[in-house]
Homo-oligomer: A and B are copies of this chain.
Amino acid sequence: MSSDRSAMIILANQRGSSARTAGDTATDDDGHAMHALASRLYPICRSLTGAGVRETLALLSEQVPLDVHEVPTGTQVFDWEIPREWRIRDAYVQDATGRRVIDFGQSNLHVVNYSRPVRARLRWRELDEHLHSLADAPDRVPYRTSYYNDTWGFCLAHRQRLALAAQGDEDEYEVVIDADLVAGSLSYGEVFLPGESNDEVLYSCHVCHPSLANDNLSGMVVATWLARWLMDRPRRLSHRFLFVPATIGALTWLCRNQSRLGQVKHGLVLTLLGAGERLTYKRSRRGDAEIDTAVSHVLRQGGRPHRLLDFEPFGYDERQYCSPGVNLPVGCLMRHLPGEYPEYHTSADDLQLIRPEILADSLAACRSIVEVLEANRNYVSLCPCGEPQLGRRGLYRAIGGESGRADLERAVLWLLNLADGRHSLLDVAERAQLRFDLLARAAELLLERQLIRRQEDGLLRPSSHC
């Protein structure tokens, strides 16, 4: 009883406030550790396939028990085929004086990702057809790919391109992309944390972008730290983390795990989590899945600035998880939308753009969402006709008429009222407009006193319905 009372006192002042749960906080240490890992991952030249992804997965496996899968080039994956591996060693454009005016060694963004090998001497106007730059952001190097088109190119700052163009077309440039496109395999990583139940939560982030920090290192490090946190916790649900090359990696996992898809009860694509004040959640294609309600509840009750958006078939790998023949309940947690922030897909999406405290806030929100999914169950009242007498069980204020009703008491009454097996704890929290953790605490108290049972536990003692 005294412990209940103290719980009531602790919680009494929190209604309407934006207090967060224990899980919904992440320390500065977490933020800095995630940023440090991002810093180690940043220089690696990732692509759809090849050494960059493997090196990336190796670094992640220092933090979490990561299984690496290799799928050979040419394997059919639904409508697609596993592409060749891109092995790049060097790439540059050298002017007549022997100076490297564009150099892969300085930034892996300088080469159009997945370019075919080239060795040629070209005049400026010939070379210029293969250059990409941003006229309206003249100091940034754009990020370009050519995954399913057989071509090559270089990316550079527009200011530099104009300077080179001013030199005229007299000289020839030596153009070298020292790369191979060869049969090999596609690599992806998977962390599986089993729980009491086979029902699982799927987390997915892409690992195929080279030196870009927010898109995609932020998703990778938040997913990794979320997995680390879950490793140490008792788990009702199983949790599966996928570290996959965009599109083809998600398709590959789906194709190889078709018999398992029924177990995926909730899912989140994690991306763009290192910059931007507010969190953004894009709902699953279903729109009213439990994950959709859970995330909106956490964002709203946590008092965070946030946005909720309906599904649309553009964006990240939710496109694949929400394709019509798959239709998993997978949403996408971001801060910005792709293309919404000016540094998107340019050299300015770097380690300065992503901030430790923002990464920590994203991690905290993820933890809070997981707490809801883990604790969300349906309960059945064992005393459904009229209210049970809470007073003699220490669940009700002692002197009738005193003002001030603790929110935990409200949560207890709401849960009892809706414990008909048709309402989950999250449903109750939403209808009562109370925080989920209060309902979870109420459920604990009522379970201890045998006033409710978990629906899946079946009937412990006959409940006397009228």
- Asked whether A418 and B465 contact (CB < 8 A) given A78-B386, A145-B400, the answer is no
Can you list 27 pairs linking A and B with CB atoms under 8 Å apart? Answer: A78-B383, A78-B386, A78-B388, A78-B464, A79-B388, A142-B401, A144-B399, A148-B389, A148-B392, A149-B399, A251-B386, A254-B385, A258-B385, A313-B387, A313-B417, A314-B410, A319-B413, A322-B417, A323-B387, A323-B416, A324-B381, A324-B384, A325-B381, A325-B385, A325-B463, A326-B384, A326-B466
Contact A255 B401, CB 8 Å, known A78-B464, A313-B417, A392-B148: no
Shortest A296–chain B CB gap in Å is: 19
CB distance from A355 to the nearest CB of B (A): 25
Copies of this protein in the complex: 3
CA distance A466 to B326 in the complex (A): 6
Q: Are A144 and B261 in contact (CB under 8 A)?
A: no
A148 with B386, Cβ < 8 A, contacts A381-B325, A417-B324, A418-B324 known: no
Chain B CB within 8 A of A405 CB: yes
Judge whether A63 is part of the interface by a CB distance below 8 angstroms: no
CB distance from A4 to the nearest CB of B (A): 16
Contact of A149 among B313, B324, B381, B391 (CB under 8 A): B391
Task: Give chain B residues whose Cβ lies under 8 Å from the Cβ of A391.
Answer: 148-149
3 smallest A-B Cβ distances: which pairs?
A325-B384, A313-B417, A325-B385
A2: Cβ under 8 A from any B Cβ: no
CA distance A139 to B151 in the complex (A): 80
- Which residues from 135 to 154 on chain A have a C-beta closer than 8 Å to any C-beta of chain B? 142-149, 151
Q: Are B80 and A386 in contact (CB under 8 A)?
A: yes
- In the bound assembly, the distance between CA atoms of A326 and B463 in angstroms comes to 13
Closest chain-B Cβ to A424's Cβ sits at a distance in Å of: 14
Q: How far is the CA of A466 from the CA of B79 in the complex (A)?
A: 12
Q: Find chain B residues with CB under 8 A from A339 CB.
A: 403
**Residue A172 CB within 8 A of the other chain:** no
Known interface pairs A78-B464, A149-B399, A391-B148; A314-B142 also in contact (CB < 8 Å): no
CA distance A118 to B99 in the complex (A): 104
Choose among B79, B142, B313, B381 the residue that contacts A383 (Cβ–Cβ < 8 A): B79
Chain B residue nearest to A155 (CB atoms) is: B401
- Chain B residues whose CB sits within 8 angstroms of the CB of A251 once the complex forms: 386
Most B CB contacts (10 A, CB to CB) among A80, A151, A247, A401 go to: A401
Expressed in whole angstroms, the minimum distance between the Cβ of A265 and any Cβ of chain B is: 16
Q: Indicate if A35 sits at the interface (CB-CB under 8 A).
A: no
Which of B151, B312, B464 meets A432, CB within 8 Å? B312
Answer whether residue A250 sits at the interface, using C-beta atoms and an 8 A cutoff: yes
Q: Nearest B residue to A320 by beta-carbon distance?
A: B386
A419 beta carbon closer than 8 Å to chain B: yes
Q: Which chain B residue shows the least CB distance to A415?
A: B313
> Quick check: is A345 within 8 A (CB to CB) of the other chain?
yes
In the complex, what residue of chain B is closest to A321 when comparing beta carbons?
B386
At the interface, yes or no: A420 with Cβ under 8 Å from chain B? yes
CB-contact partner of A399 in B146, B388, B419, under 8 A: B146
